[in-house]
């Protein structure tokens, strides 16, 4: 087993396991991806066809990393080509991309075309707002986002509008949700579109209700792998069960201690109950950490052992003990930001590169003070979350392509109908939607006809030419590129983004045009915040703790460690529930285990939140860490004017 010799004993045991259910409890930094990829390699070495292997991840980044590793291993050990395997590869992707893959093949069952539109978050939000208004409700009183979150949670639990409407009865708020949901579904059907939740819900329903289709996928994929199993919701759980079938050849990897998404439907019981759900399951525990120092791991163990809903484990490493964890105490959030900026400048003088540093916070609003200070202190930074595919000019071009392939996508048509300006206003648009174009004056009819011809030309081009050439065609044919050639700096940047989109699209050029354009549109719709993180940008990374999951950095700062901020207490709550407290502790555990070499924890005595200046006590999580693991950092000369700002020391 030369191909497994560098794995540790527990990793190797997981890799050689073949038939039957397998649960891998993988602590942070314990090499779960390496274990999974070598397990896939070993299955192929044992005679399993690569095309019979399915691996599901939660992020595009994780899917790409796993796919690249598997490809390298197959090439390294001679399984990339030849004889039985030819060009076959394991299918590796996210739950959502799997849903897209299956639903495009069976779209007609749901009254959709192969080219159905996938609504991104902003598109779904706009449609939800439209549905709220159509129900005669004031969006200011009945938040579309709140109602949308309720519907999303219900879909994540395999709930359909028909079943929800029956169960809602005459209850006030559920009845309102049911009404809006019905309108929302009506609009989705009108546009031949699905939202993110539909991609999994409808796939699960399809496999559940169609024995022949389910059997075809059971024959195709005989070995199922699911990463981050602790984050699965009801629909994902059911989809995994349906794809596994009677063979029960399912391998799930996860860590209950890293379940931090219950607010969006993740059910920690899915991983805790795996052994009961899949009789005869083998459980393997990965505890040896390859990422962090022992000091950081000791702190992490101290933190998480306070939780009761978990599977017992204790992380350890053969790495060095490492430096103590720095506790930075400041007067207010401005002082905290400047103190962190000064510490970063000190690290840079020691040779640390900016991209090796990450600052994590519990809530997005905390980035404001940090950005303000870093700009003044000339600290290069990048805020995670500004997605490439969210940029206006990129969205416009993709909307033209989607509308060309699916002329029923009214959301896209609304977006691009007058981009660049072509004299089509709201009145003309309303008549277009009502299919009453004949009542328009001749000039209006001509403009509308030209628009429909433009979309037709885009569709024809999309189905015949390379995707990169399609982007060029759309940017030129629509006039977007010409409209941006003003010489203004902002327009130049937008042009550069279009050129970057062309470059990105070249990776799809190896596929047939029809398949390539659908893959591009699908990837764009499903892009996550992490996809915006540019690795080679020399800048300190700023992000929420949630966004940091799956990432690692040599130097990590966790900010705002104050009572009611981290652990977080929602507005109006008098106390944090036991369940919420444990999830907050899991979130802190995730933050701590992102660090490889050195960890800093900061808090402020005073912080302004929602316009209210509050006195704070340090987070209770700080007292969970052994005093032997920490040291207090005292940083001076952090005030804008040059005078030292008082630093408050609070003992706990």
Active site (catalytic) residues: 32-33, 227-228, 258, 594
Burial class of residue 177 in the structure, from the number of CB atoms within 10 Å of its CB (0-12 exposed, 13-18 middle, 19+ buried): buried
- Quote the Cα angle for 210-213-218, to 5°: 115
Burial class of residue 491 in the structure, from the number of CB atoms within 10 Å of its CB (0-12 exposed, 13-18 middle, 19+ buried): middle
* Distances 266 to 120, 152, 578, 617 between C-alpha atoms, Å: 20, 12, 17, 31
Q: How many CB atoms lie within 10 A of CB 514?
A: 14
**Which segments of 98-143 are extended strands (E)?**
117-118
Looking at the DSSP bridge assignments, the partners of residue 282 are 22
Cα R_g (the chain), whole angstroms: 26
Q: What is the b/e burial string over 296-334, where b = at least 16 CB atoms within 10 angstroms of the residue's CB?
A: bbbbbbbbbbebeebbebebebebeebebbbbbbbbbbb
Q: Which of 52, 623, 78, 624 is nearest to 306 (CA)?
A: 624
Q: Would you list the DSSP string of 141-176?
A: TS-HHHHHHHHHHHHHTT--HHHHHHHHTT-HHHHH
Q: Which is it for strands 595-609 and 612-615: parallel, antiparallel or unpaired?
A: antiparallel
CB contact at 8 A, 235 and 155? yes
> Cα-Cα-Cα-Cα dihedral of 289, 290, 296, 298, to 10°?
30
Looking at the DSSP bridge assignments, the partners of residue 250 are 224
- How many CA atoms within 13 Å lie on the side-chain side of 172? 1
Decide: helix, strand or coil at residue 346.
helix
Q: Would you list the DSSP string of 78-104?
A: T-SSSTTTTT---EEEEHHHHHHHHHH
Looking at the DSSP bridge assignments, the partners of residue 24 are 253, 284
Q: Which residues contact 73 (CB under 8 A, 6 or more apart)?
A: 3, 37, 38, 40, 41
Burial class of residue 413 in the structure, from the number of CB atoms within 10 Å of its CB (0-12 exposed, 13-18 middle, 19+ buried): buried
Cis-peptide into 420, omega within 30 deg? yes
- Sign of the torsion formed by the C-alpha atoms of 159, 95, 131 and 519: negative
Q: How many CB atoms lie within 10 A of CB 44?
A: 22
Structure tokens at 360: 């994590």
């Amino acid at each position: 087993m030369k191909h497994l010799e560098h794995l540790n004993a527990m990793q190797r045991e997981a890799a050689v396991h073949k038939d039957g259910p397998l649960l891998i409890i993988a602590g942070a930094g314990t090499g779960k991806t390496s274990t999974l990829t070598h397990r896939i390699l070993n299955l192929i070495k044992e005679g399993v066809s690569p095309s019979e292997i399915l691996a599901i991840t939660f992020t595009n980044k994780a899917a790409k990393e796993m796919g690249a590793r598997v490809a390298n291993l197959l090439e390294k050990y001679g399984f990339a080509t030849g004889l039985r395997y030819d060009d076959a590869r394991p299918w590796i992707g996210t739950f959502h991309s799997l849903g897209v893959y299956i639903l495009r093949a069976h779209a007609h069952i749901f009254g959709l075309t192969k080219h159905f539109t996938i609504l991104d978050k902003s598109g779904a939000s706009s449609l939800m707002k439209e549905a709220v208004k159509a129900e005669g409700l004031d969006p200011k009183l009945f938040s579309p986002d709140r109602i949308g979150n309720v519907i999303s949670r219900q879909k994540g639990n395999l709930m359909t509008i028909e079943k929800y409407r029956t169960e809602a009865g005459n209850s006030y708020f559920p009845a309102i949700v049911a009404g809006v949901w019905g309108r929302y579904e009506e609009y989705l059907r009108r546009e031949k579109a699905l939202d993110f939740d539909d991609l999994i819900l409808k796939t699960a329903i399809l496999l559940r209700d169609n024995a022949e289709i389910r059997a075809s996928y059971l024959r195709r994929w005989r070995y199922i792998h699911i990463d981050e199993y602790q984050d699965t919701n009801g629909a994902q759980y059911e989809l995994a069960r349906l794809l596994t079938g009677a063979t029960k050849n399912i391998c799930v990897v996860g860590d209950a201690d890293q379940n931090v998404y219950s607010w969006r439907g993740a059910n920690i019981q899915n991983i805790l109950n795996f052994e009961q759900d899949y009789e005869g399951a083998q459980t393997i525990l990965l505890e040896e950490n390859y990422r962090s120092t022992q000091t950081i791991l000791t702190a992490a163990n101290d933190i998480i052992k306070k939780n009761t809903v978990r599977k017992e484990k204790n992380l350890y490493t053969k790495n060095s003990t490492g430096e103590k964890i720095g506790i930075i105490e400041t007067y207010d959030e401005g002082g905290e930001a400047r103190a962190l900026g000064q510490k970063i400048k000190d690290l840079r003088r020691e040779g640390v590169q900016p991209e090796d540093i990450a600052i994590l916070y519990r809530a997005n609003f905390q980035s404001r003070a940090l950005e303000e200070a870093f700009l003044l202190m000339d600290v290069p930074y990048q805020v995670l979350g500004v997605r490439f595919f969210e940029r206006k000019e990129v969205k416009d071009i993709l909307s033209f392509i989607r509308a060309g392939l699916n002329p029923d996508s009214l959301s896209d048509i609304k977006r691009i109908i007058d981009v660049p300006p072509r004299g089509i206003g709201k009145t003309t648009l309303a008549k277009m939607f009502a299919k009453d174009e004949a009542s328009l004056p001749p000039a209006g009819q001509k403009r509308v006809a030209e628009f429909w011809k433009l979309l037709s030309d885009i569709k024809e081009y999309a189905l015949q030419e390379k995707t990169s050439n399609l982007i060029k065609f759309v940017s030129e044919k629509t006039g977007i590129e010409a409209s941006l050639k003003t010489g203004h700096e902002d327009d130049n940047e937008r042009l550069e983004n279009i050129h970057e989109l062309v470059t990105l699209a070249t990776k799809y050029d190896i596929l047939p045009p029809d398949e390539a354009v659908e893959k591009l549109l699908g990837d764009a719709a499903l892009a996550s915040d992490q996809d915006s993180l540019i690795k080679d940008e020399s800048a300190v990374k700023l992000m929420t703790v949630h966004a940091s999951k799956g990432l690692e950095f040599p130097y990590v700062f966790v900010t705002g460690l104050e009572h009611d901020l981290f652990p977080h207490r929602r507005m109006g709550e008098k106390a944090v529930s036991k369940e919420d407290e444990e999830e907050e502790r899991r979130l802190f555990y995730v933050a701590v285990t992102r660090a490889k070499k050195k960890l800093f924890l900061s808090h402020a005595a005073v912080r302004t939140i929602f316009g209210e200046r509050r006195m704070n006590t340090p987070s209770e999580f700080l007292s969970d860490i052994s005093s032997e693991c920490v040291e207090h950092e005292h940083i001076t000369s952090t005030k804008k004017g040059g005078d030292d700002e008082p630093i408050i020391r609070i003992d706990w």
